[in-house]
Structure 1
Amino acid sequence: MTQLPGAVPPPQPGPPYHAPYGQSPAPYGAPPPYPPVPPPPPVTAGWQPERVDQVTGTGFGLVHLQVAPITSGPAVGSLVAGIAAIVVSFAVFCFGLSGAQEGWGGWVAGAFTLLSLLAGAGAVVAGLIARRQIARPAEPGRVRFTGRGLTVGGLVCGITGAALSVVALSVGLLVQL
């Protein structure tokens, strides 16, 4: 079969090849100038079977999966509230001393002391809830919680922040007199 001058040759079988940016395209059917990308490894979601119980009278089974432990939400909340109690206690100290000469320091420091005491109490309550949640025994199919260190840190920060705010209020009131 003869081909007319200026006619386009028939396409070669196979997928079209697009050259990377800046390179001239290779003719159809030519191997690409770079090695092919290997396929990704199979994706595993992290679910591992813990045990399989057979359903009596059938050929089916019930699979119990291992559940990965997660960080306790109340433990994180306890730490955040404890740190907030400490930060507000420093505000109590600053307002109590800076407003002592004008006479408003005790009022403002008292309001911020109340805020710090509420944040400290919230940290202690959330920390105690988190300790119970973390100490609960692991049962099949139930989520295990971690965050014991966060809980202890939240309890310590909450109690320390509340105590510091009471001390700062006392110092502010003594300076104001």
Structure 2
Amino acid sequence: MKPRAPVVFERLDLLEWHLCQRLAGFSIHRPWLWLLRLASKAGDWPLWVALIAAQPWLQGREGWRIALQYTLTALVAIAFYRLVKTRLCRERPFITFSTIACQEPARDRYSFPSGHTMHAVMFCTLVAAHTPWLLPSLIPVVALIAVSRVGLGLHYISDVAAGAAIGYGMALASLALTP
């Protein structure tokens, strides 16, 4: 028996599907689709691993501690994300609505919250605390990662908003817990 999403998601799905369909519809433009796919791939892991690995170089002796902080924060965020995602079971927009095209293979059938957006916002917040001079180049990437999730038909806008809120909260908790 398939797990059932809470009723609140059924209502949100109906409110959001039209806007998600419109945003995903822009993917017919090849350059835009290419950019969304690139952003999505960057948000998978390579960008974040590079950011963690660069901390000792960017921060000197403190860099190893910061790299460890980023790693532990990401691991806690993944555990929380998986717990939420497997309990709430909101199906992806392209599964619920056949009019929304999926432009990238999904890892699973559930969309809430957006893990890509969670990590993007989490790392952006951590970077703001440690290396704010990187923000002008990181913020556009983070925004593109968030947009890519809806534009590729993989998430609803509320999935992305929830992922951003969780990522921000995880980063703030991490910063509050470290000296």
Pairwise TM-score range, normalised by the shorter structure: under 0.3
- Give the structure, 1 or 2, with the largest relative contact order (CA under 8 Å, sep 6 or more): 2
What's the TM-score, normalizing by structure 2?
0.27
What's the TM-score, normalizing by structure 1?
0.28
Normalized per residue, the structure richer in helix is 2
Q: Which has the larger radius of gyration?
A: 1
